[in-house]
Amino acid sequence: MTASMPKVAALGECMLELVRRPDGTLTMGFGGDTLNTAVYLARLGAAADYVTALGDDPHSDGMAAAWEAEGVGTGHVLRVPGRVPGLYMIETDDSGERRFLYWRDRAPARDLFVLPESTALIKALEGYDLLYLSGISLAIWGEAGRDVLFPLLDRIRARGGRIAFDTNWRPRLWPDVATARRAYDAMLRRTDIALPGVPDLQGLYGDADAAAALRRVEAAGVPEIVLKLEAPGCVVARDGGYTEVPAERVATVVDTTAAGDSFSAGYLAARLRGESPVEAARAAHRLAAVVIQHRGAIIPSAFTAPVAQAA
C-alpha cells in the first residue's frame, strides 16, 4: 500500500467453499462475505487488507496465499494452532438462486477479538482509514467480540476514520432476534456508510417496505446509505437527497452468490476514488452484473478485468 491510498480493512470470516455442479460433482474454493468484498476491492485497485483468524492447517495456508495472490493484504490474519476454517456448500437452482449448508461452529474467526494476539491487532486497526464489516461478522464474534469491537469503532471514528457496514442478516447465526437487534442498533449508530438490504431489515425488524427500512437506517444517524432493493436496483440517500439507481440488465443469471459482496466492493472502491455516491452505485451495479453471470463467490479475474480497467 502506498501512503497516498486510503487504508481499507475488511473484517470477518472466510470459509472453504464447496460448489455442487449440475452434474453432481463438487469443486472446492473459498469464500465469505467480507472476504469476497476484499478481493473485489483489490481487483478494483483499492489498498485492501483482510482481517480474520485461520488455523495452522494446509487449507488455511492455501487460502492466505490465494488472498495474497489477489493483492489482498494478510498481515493481520491471526493463526490459531490446532484449528481449521469453517466450511460451507453452495447449491443453486435453475434460476441461479442459492442455498447454503454450513459447518463453522469452531471456526477460529469467531475468536478474532479474544485471542492472545488480539490486543496488537486492535491497535493496528485503529490506524485504518476505512473498516468494512457485515452482519455476519457481528454474529460470529458474539457478545464478547462485540464488546471489544464497538469501542474500537468509536476510537477510529473519533480520529477521522470511517466505518462501512453491510447488514447481511442471517438469523441462524444469532441466539435470538432481540440480541441481533441490539447489536445492529449499536452498529448502525457507528456506521458512516451503510449498505443495507430491504429483505435484511424486513427480516430483522419487520419493516413494512423499502421506505420504512430507509427511515430506520436514517434514524440511526447514518450519513450515507445505499439501500439495496428487492427489485434490481438501489436507493442512494445522502445529504437529504434520494436517488434510485437501477441495476445493470443481465440476460442470464447463473449464480447470485456474492452479488451483494461485489456490489459493496464496487461502491466503496468508487467512493475511495472520489466518485459521487450515485456514480459509485452505478459502478457497483456494473461489477455485480458481471459476478452473477458466473459460478462461485469469487469469479476468475479475467471476467472482472474490464470492470477494473474502466474504473
**Cα angle vertex 104, ends 93, 203, to 5°?**
60
Distance of CA 44 to the CA centre of its chain: 15
Rounded distance between C-alpha atoms, residue 184 and residue 135, angstroms = 7
Q: Nearest CA to 188 among 208, 175, 204? A: 204
Residues in Cβ contact with 127 at an 8 Å cutoff, skipping those fewer than 6 apart: 7
Rounded distance between C-alpha atoms, residue 57 and residue 292, angstroms = 31
Residues in Cβ contact with 189 at an 8 Å cutoff, skipping those fewer than 6 apart: 220, 221
User: Under DSSP, is residue 298 helix (H, G, I), strand (E, B) or coil?
Assistant: coil
Active site residue 33: no
Q: In three state form, how does the secondary structure of 79-112 look? A: ECCCCCCCEEEEEECCCCCEEEEEECCCCHHHHC
Distance of CA 310 to the CA centre of its chain: 23
Q: Which of 166, 192, 255, 261 does the annotation list as catalytic?
A: 261
Asked whether 174 and 139 are in contact (CB, 8 A), the reply is yes
C-alpha cell at 93: 437452482
Residues in Cβ contact with 158 at an 8 Å cutoff, skipping those fewer than 6 apart: none
The residues annotated as belonging to the active site are 261
